[in-house]
Amino acid sequence: MIVKYVKLPLYFLLGITLFFLVFQPQTNAQSEFVSVQANVLNVRSGPGTSHEIVDKVKEGTILSVVEKFDRWYHVQLTNGRTGWVAKQYVDSLPDIPPSPITQPYIAFASASKLQDLYGISLATLQDKTIVIDAGHGGRDKGAVGTSGTYEKDLTLITSKLLQKRLSTLGAHVVMTRTNDQYISLEQRVALANKKKADAFISIHYNSSKDDKLHGIITYYDRHQSLAESIHKELISLTTFDNKEVRHGDYHVLRENSQPSVLLELGFLSNAHEETQMQTGQFQYNVVTAIVKGLARYFDEQNT
């Protein structure tokens, strides 16, 4: 077969290039989130009102941004589905929104301003190596909530928000995963040991056949003081029921040489808690509590 090459005018080639640069969807950083501002927001199959409605989300729900196109966001929901929402009905969530329980957080605040926010010294967090383990991922969905929320998606949201806060405060943060991928328990522990982590925090959400069960449980193997420090703040700031600090025979704790805890931040099998978990307010309080608990733990280790 003979192929003939056509020489196109330079202005035509430049025009085509400019079109794709300007109008192609923009892929965003993995840690970008938005919060729903409408009472109920339609999630559509494409960027426009002519596309069918595939789901609905309530006010305050956190969505992970996949890409942007014109006045629409392509987002991932916590039930694993993806769809498009109108930009005008969501607000950017660079960190975590304000909460009536704790003081408002200033996006991109300096470490000194965050010191004032917490009301305690956070200097002990500087240069600490903290491994954040977003539970489950990939083919391992973890628990599934009453409305279809995947634990693996919710743990990743919490972990990324915690990563941002700790990094701002000068900690060296290592993530076991930053996207929806399967990571074995052995790999998670190996990473903590390799990095000689000052703390290993495994983020999870609970489930039970009894849909009335609710509350937060913090597990430890050998580092009870770390567990108690974080758990105390979680109960104080989230107002979720106190299910106590417990010894847990979990691989990521048992085989971990570093100080480690596993947090069960409420029950996805409880409809009320599942709804609360997906709000910016709850995520704000959880991250604030973990940071405060870590700061107090490190401070006690220095005395």
In this predicted model, what pLDDT tens digit does every residue of 104-119 receive, in sequence order?
Answer: 333 334 555 555 556 6
Give the separation between CA 16 and CA 32, rounded to whole angstroms.
Answer: 30
Beta bridge partners of 65: 75
What local confidence, expressed as pLDDT, does residue 108 receive? 38
What local confidence, expressed as pLDDT, does residue 120 receive? 66
Give the separation between CA 218 and CA 260, rounded to whole angstroms.
Answer: 11
Residue appearing with tokens 């430890």: 220
Contact predicate 263/216, CB 8 Å: yes
DSSP strand pairing (242-247 vs 216-220): parallel
**DSSP state letter for 221:** S
Q: Which two tokens stand for residue 17?
A: 């290039």
What local confidence, expressed as pLDDT, does residue 303 receive? 72
Could you state, in order of their start, the residue ranges of all structural domains in the chain?
26-93, 111-302
Residues lower than pLDDT 70 in the chain: 1-31, 93-120
Q: pTM of the prediction?
A: 0.75
DSSP strand pairing (260-267 vs 216-220): antiparallel
CATH number belonging to domain 111-302: 3.40.630.40
Q: Is residue 129 within a helix (H) or strand (E), and if so which, with residue range? A: strand 129-134
Class of domain 26-93: mainly beta
What local confidence, expressed as pLDDT, does residue 144 receive? 95
What local confidence, expressed as pLDDT, does residue 119 receive? 60
96: helix, coil or strand? Answer: coil
Contact predicate 261/202, CB 8 Å: yes
